[in-house]
Chains A and B, each alone.
Chain A
Amino acid sequence: MNLRIIGALISKDFSLFFRNRFFALMTVFALITYLTIYFVMPSSVDESLKIGLYAPVMPPVFEQLQEESLEIEVVESDEALREAVTEGQYVAGVALPADIMERFMLGQKPQITLYFASDTPEELKDAVVVLIRELAYLQTGQPLAIEMSEEILGPDMLGMQIPPRDRLRPLLVFFILIIETMGLATLIGEEVGRRTIQALLVTPMTVKDLFAAKGIMGISLAFGQAALFMAIVGGISGQPLVILAALLLGAVLVTGIGFLIGSVAKDMMSAMPWFLVALIPLLIPTVSVMFPGLITGWVKVIPSYYLVDTLHRAANFGAGWGDVWQSLLMLLGFNVVIVWIGITALRRKFR
């Protein structure tokens, strides 16, 4: 390979990329937009637990149901309580029967109904149940029968202890990376479609030089922006080398996909549908990070899973090489295959 030629090609491609107003704007716009999204999202987790209580008659001991980080709000009816829990105003609802005091007096077991939102963590459910039993025991000196009722409201957010915006980081980084696929694919497609490739191929430039130049250009554009984003949002501070390695492998992945799309596209418009075809499946693993438990193990067949999983674990939980090496290795393996397919497809196109 000839470094002088590769340098000339990279310089030419960067020049063409930023002369395309759409790509220049998209590059800057995407970075600013994703940074804005990150910074406007909550930076902390609200750990106070709101519980709704419907009590036609308030037993004295239940008035003590105020603990640190446990906020009780009394509602006026069982119906209102169910509705509030369903809408997510409370993580749990406690409905006491009207005859609770009579039953306590008679030594009978009143029926207390507990309502939980579907995303209420199991440990919290257990805590509320234990709390009610303790209170009932304090009130009567005997255990109570408790009927529990659950409403399924949406995805299970079990274990969401990190701020939403940090959970969003892998998704935003993925968008920053993948958007560069469009630019690279369009540059390659136009190189073939407008036959400038022929003019290049009758110079001392080799096909290897060409692939090296396109590869370096695609990787540096994607990696540069993603690394800048992560640096600004503080995602690199914990495990910088792991994060940078993941971003580099992610940039190689989107470059390989750019080669593939470039082999079938002639210009930006024809690249767009292919871009969407690639984008949609690759996006799925980012959802699994946003909403844990929503997507099961099959997501591991999608290469981007190993990128977002590594970024999520390293940036949000401080996972090191020992924790993520398997994911990085899988991502590397996917990259080798995708880049090889991309180069093979493009070689056929160059003929």
Chain B
Amino acid sequence: MAGDAIVAEELTYWYGELVAVDHISFNVAEGEILGFLGPNGAGKTTTVKILTGLLRPKGGKATLLGMDVAKNVEKVQGEIGVCFEDANLYEQMSAIENLRLFARLFGIRSFDADALLRRVGLAGREKDRVEAYSKGMKQRLMVARSIVNRPRVLFLDEPTEGLDPASAESIRNIILEERERGATIFLTTHDMMEADRLSDRVVFINQGKIVALDTPHNLKQQYGKRALKAKVSTHSGELEDREIILDTPETANAIQELFAQERVVTIHSEEASLEDIFIRITGRGLVE
């Protein structure tokens, strides 16, 4: 059984009066993708900053790959990759120069920048200055930069935010490839479909506290409701919606009655989304 790549124990951080992270604890197993979900200001970025050594926790302890982050910042940072939400590339340098710079910082002697750029779909534009890139290209380069050192733990902050579907899909594929390679991935996202699809487990964080932590499936089981959504045709020919909640003692009879008494035009099952569950738990949406 794989050990834990990330262990957070009672992590706490505050800015003046504002408690940004309030005694949160969780662990991420090696090779796992953890979705870290919460609205703006919930404490996601502060948590990532603590885990990546950018901030020293004011309480609790963060351990990465068995090392206390606060005490082994340099060693920890040699093993991680971070992709920030906002593009922070050297725009007057080319993609290849950006990657080579970071390869040098990580002390990688034989680095094949071209291969990495091909992998993220930037072959052919590798010598152009980054300032000439589209947002999607910059984001792909950001992801490429974060995996220059083949990190054992990869932090991705909204990696597909605002991207076209093709760019977003290519980044999701890279995330899955990295997991295949054995990397542990800490994924911060607002995209519930993405979190649902990619994450082994998800954490809901709200006002600095963890309010739920489980697999998407279990959260849906625990907090969501499955339902049948049907459209029926009335006598006057109009379409009306019908909903039957599944997994209740009355479900079977309700379905029987629907088909016996009404003219069903379409019918499909529907699961609760992570967004629905987050709202149910916290009373607020993920995107505000």
Contacts and interface: CB of A to CB of B under 8 A. Distances in A.
A4 B80 CA distance: 19
Nearest to B97: A15
A206 B89 CA distance: 19
Interface in A1-60: 4-5, 7-9, 12, 15-16, 19-20
A194 interface: yes
For the complex, would chain B's binding face be called helix, strand, loop or mixed by DSSP majority?
loop
A198 interface: yes
B101 A12 contact: yes
Contacts, number: 59
Interface in A200-220: 200-206
23 contacts: A5-B105, A7-B104, A8-B105, A12-B93, A12-B101, A16-B92, A16-B93, A19-B92, A195-B86, A196-B89, A196-B90, A198-B54, A198-B88, A202-B52, A202-B54, A202-B80, A203-B78, A203-B105, A204-B78, A204-B105, A205-B105, A206-B74, A351-B55
Given A4-B107, A12-B90, A199 B84 contact: yes
B273 interface: no
Given A4-B104, A198-B54, A202-B82, 4 more contacts: A15-B97, A196-B88, A203-B77, A203-B106
Contacts of A5: 104-105
Interface residues of A, number: 23
Contacts of B107: 4, 204
Contacts of A204: 74, 77-78, 105-107
B90 A16 contact: yes
A8 B74 contact: no
Contact of B145 (A8, A15, A19, A199): A199
For the complex, would chain A's binding face be called helix, strand, loop or mixed by DSSP majority?
helix
Most A C-beta atoms less than 10 A away, residue of B53, B78, B92: B92
Contacts of B106: 203-204
5 tightest Cβ-Cβ pairs between the two chains A and B: A8-B104, A195-B88, A203-B105, A202-B82, A204-B78
B102 interface: yes
A72 to B, nearest CB: 66
Contacts of A205: 105
B158 interface: no
